[in-house]
Amino acid sequence: MAAALAAVSQQEDTRKSEFELLKARLSATGQNPVLPLEGVVATTIPELDSLLGGGLPNGVVATLEGATGRWSLAAGLVAGMTRRSLVAILDDGTLYPPALADAGVCLERVLVVPARTALAIVRAVDLLLRSRICRLVLMPALALRDAVWARLAKLAHRSGVLLIVVAERAGASLSAAAGVRLHCVLERIFVRGTHGLWGSFAGFELCIDVRKHKRMSPGRTAHVRVGNAALR
Amino acid sequence: MLLCVEVAFPSTSAQDDKGKSMLWEEMLDSLDAVSPLIDDVRPGLAFLDMHGMANDANAWMAQTRAVLDHFGCALRLGVGFNKIAARAVAHVADGTICESGAESKLLAPLPLTLLDVDPATIERLRLLGIERLGELARLPHGPFVRRFGAASAGWHELARGIDRRPFIPRGHAVAIEASIFGEGRAADEVQVFFALRMLLARICSDLDCCGKRAGALHLAVELEDADTCSFDVPLATPTAQERTMFDMLRAKLEGARFVAPIVGLRLQALQLEEGGEDQALLSADDFDPQRVAVTIARLEAVLGEGVARATTRDAHLLEERFTYEPFMCRRTRGMPPSLNSQVRASNELVPQLRLHKVREVSVQLRGGEPAAVDRQAVRQCVGPWRIAERYTEKPVEGRDEYDVVLEDGTFARIYRQGSRWYLRGVYE
């Protein structure tokens, strides 16, 4: 009798633990597999493509946020895009083209638009979106009024151009206008060899978090490895 | 009959290639008065086709001298039935004529340099004991060609006075331009654009008549205060389309400011090319160079700075590893050639350094290594890498570069120069 009771109790425990597991899986809605979306531009970064259901939607404002890794992600997107079309990068004077070339960007197909002030950047982006000569326009973040971001978002939507804004932290106006928001968090750094003179950084791992997506639920994450070669 | 004209340029102009070629072009234009068919071999050497021309050879040469007299250059003239004979006779004695059938006898004592062969080949022939055209002509044709290659068949024939080189008449320069002056003054951009459309209509009509396309435009704007503004407008691909040219001109003028009303416009079509335009059959993923060029012109007008293309180069210092050049749009099918070598083996991401404005930072050392940067503890540090520019005119102090990861997650490139520390960039 005692053995039978023990067996029933064990069966009950197993059922409970399985039920808890199922509850945990269902509650984590952000991690459900995503159905492939239509009308997206593949980023050629496999982890990001699977995270976003095939790529970034056409004609949206997308933000890449975070302290470290956002420009690495942007360079990956530019590299994929320059295989097909022209890309414009608004340069505030901090662009380092050799790193872009290392990321596989075809520099021949990148228009480097020098723009230092907010007004110049907005006017240049406006012109580029209207002309539709580039499939992707990459710009640094600016403090702009809601109406300006809304206009740029509308222009991007009408022209079918992907406008990527790279920002350490997106403001309220930009967050509202953005169709996709990705946030990068530095998880760990890989060092080759020992530290000091005999070592070199071999790259780092990023955790990418979807903070906003106009066509799917947010909260999904992916881990991406950045860099393989020594950073010299 | 061909008349050979060989010109020795004065030593002053010989040093200046551009000046020499301009002088030569003027001389060729003058020679049009002697014969309409001129083969321009190179600056200083031309052949004139004299078939069917009035008078005799001596009269032709006298006329040529008269035409070129005011240039003040030394001339050598000769008349022959083919190019090699005409040139040889001019080389032997200025103003002489080579009769038909006397070519091989004339050429026999002359040096090999008359063949315009590269110096290395002449040296090889000289080592074999061949220094005159007569000696070359006496060589058996087959073995000589087998030894020196297919091109040597032509040299052998030339040495025997047989010249099969075609006579290629030079094209005549066509000037296509239109201007408008003395019809009032324009203070409104609409009036200027209207006038530009008129000029472009004339230019495009002329281009159509000549079967040509313009690769660039030059616009000169004359102002009421006697000042002139010039605009060079390169077109992405040579075209004869009025609309494309107008778009480019308008985009270029968008950023222009004139201090006085416009009283005249002169528009000139440059870089004329023959033939039609390349059109993309399936252009879904291809960009239109003209549209790109118009957008770039607009951006330049708005920003006041040119849109650039980056190129990389080898250098020690980070900031010297790239340069910018003006973005010129070229139509490419699929992947551009230079891309093939740059494509990543895998879809691998690469850390991106951002070159921020260099600023001094305070660094605390521990065991010779940075332990804190601007009061942020260093979690990891690699380096130093010594960078010294030794071969510059102005000696620059070498610097030691480090990559550091700070407590707040900042991943930066810092360097020490002398006793001071600087932040060069941040991996963002």
Peptide bond into B370 cis (omega under 30): no
Q: Summarize the confidence of residues A188-196 as an average pLDDT.
A: 76
B251: helix, coil or strand?
Answer: helix
Which residues face B420 on adjacent strands?
A: B417
The token pair at B359 is 């600023």
Closest to A189 (Cβ–Cβ): which among B285, B308, B405? B405
Per the CB < 8 A criterion, the answer to whether B5 and B31 are in contact is yes
The pLDDT assigned to B341 comes to: 47
The pLDDT assigned to A49 comes to: 86
Q: A30: distance to nearest CA of chain B, Å? A: 25
CA distance linking residue A188 with residue A202, whole number of Å? 11
Cα radius of gyration rounded to whole Å, chain A:
22
B337: helix, coil or strand?
Answer: helix
Question: Mean pLDDT, consecutive 10-residue segments, chain B of 428 residues?
Answer: 87 66 85 88 90 87 90 89 90 87 86 85 88 89 87 88 87 76 76 90 88 88 87 85 89 84 89 68 62 87 88 86 84 49 61 88 87 88 78 69 86 88 89
Chain B touched by A116 (CB under 8 Å): no
B261: number of CA atoms within 13 Å, CB side?
11
The pLDDT > 70 percentage for chain A reads 88
Chain B touched by A188 (CB under 8 Å): no
Band of residue A166 on the pLDDT scale cut at 50, 70, 90:
very high
- Given a cut of 80, is residue A200 above it in pLDDT? no
The pLDDT assigned to B277 comes to: 61
The pLDDT assigned to B178 comes to: 84
Question: What single DSSP character describes residue B110?
Answer: S
Closest to A201 (Cβ–Cβ): which among B299, B321, B382? B382
Chain A touched by B424 (CB under 8 Å): no
Chain B touched by A111 (CB under 8 Å): yes
A-interface mutation test, from B296, B313, B382, most A Cβ less than 10 A away: B382
The answer to whether B302 contacts A112, with C-beta atoms less than 8 Å apart, is no
Closest to A196 (Cβ–Cβ): which among B287, B288, B382? B382
- Number of Cβ pairs closer than 8 Å across A and B? 196
Per the CB < 8 A criterion, the answer to whether B75 and B63 are in contact is no
The answer to whether B355 contacts A95, with C-beta atoms less than 8 Å apart, is yes
The pLDDT assigned to B175 comes to: 75
The answer to whether A186 contacts B411, with C-beta atoms less than 8 Å apart, is yes
Chain A touched by B237 (CB under 8 Å): no
The pLDDT assigned to B330 comes to: 63
The answer to whether A226 contacts B349, with C-beta atoms less than 8 Å apart, is yes
B372: helix, coil or strand?
Answer: strand
Cα-flanking dihedrals φ and ψ of residue A189, to 5°?
Answer: -115, 140
The pLDDT assigned to B5 comes to: 92
The pLDDT assigned to B340 comes to: 45
Band of residue A110 on the pLDDT scale cut at 50, 70, 90:
very high
Range 133-172 of A in CB contact (< 8 A) with B: 133, 166, 168
Range 81-110 of A in CB contact (< 8 A) with B: 82-86, 93-110
Q: A176: distance to nearest CA of chain B, Å? A: 24
Torsion of CA A77, A167, B293, A150, to 10 degrees: 110
Chain length of chain A: 232
The pLDDT assigned to B346 comes to: 53
The pLDDT assigned to B324 comes to: 92
A14 burial (CB, 10 Å; 0-12 / 13-18 / 19+) is exposed
CA distance linking residue B257 with residue A105, whole number of Å? 38
Residues of A in contact with B248 (CB under 8 A): none
The token pair at B24 is 């030569």
The answer to whether B303 contacts A115, with C-beta atoms less than 8 Å apart, is yes
Closest to A72 (Cβ–Cβ): which among B285, B351, B409? B351
pLDDT digits (tens, 9 = 90+) for A71-101: 999 999 999 888 888 899 999 889 999 999 9
The answer to whether B350 contacts A102, with C-beta atoms less than 8 Å apart, is yes
Q: A105: distance to nearest CA of chain B, Å? A: 7
Q: Summarize the confidence of residues A52-64 as an average pLDDT.
A: 89
CA distance linking residue A96 with residue B222, whole number of Å? 42
The pLDDT assigned to A230 comes to: 46
| pTM of the predicted structure, to 2 decimals | 0.65
B-interface mutation test, from A113, A117, A192, most B Cβ less than 10 A away: A113
Per the CB < 8 A criterion, the answer to whether A101 and B343 are in contact is no
Range 327-366 of B in CB contact (< 8 A) with A: 327, 335-336, 338-339, 342-344, 347-357
The token pair at B137 is 């002509």
B-interface mutation test, from A111, A139, A206, A223, most B Cβ less than 10 A away: A111
Q: Which residue has the tokens 């290395």?
A: B120
CA distance linking residue A224 with residue A208, whole number of Å? 7
Chain A touched by B403 (CB under 8 Å): yes
B426: which residues sit within 8 A by CB, 6+ positions away?
A: B353, B354, B356, B410, B411, B412, B413
DSSP letter for each residue of B128-148: TT--BHHHHHHS-HHHHHHHH
The answer to whether B354 contacts A96, with C-beta atoms less than 8 Å apart, is yes
The answer to whether B348 contacts A111, with C-beta atoms less than 8 Å apart, is no
Cα-flanking dihedrals φ and ψ of residue B204, to 5°?
Answer: -70, -35
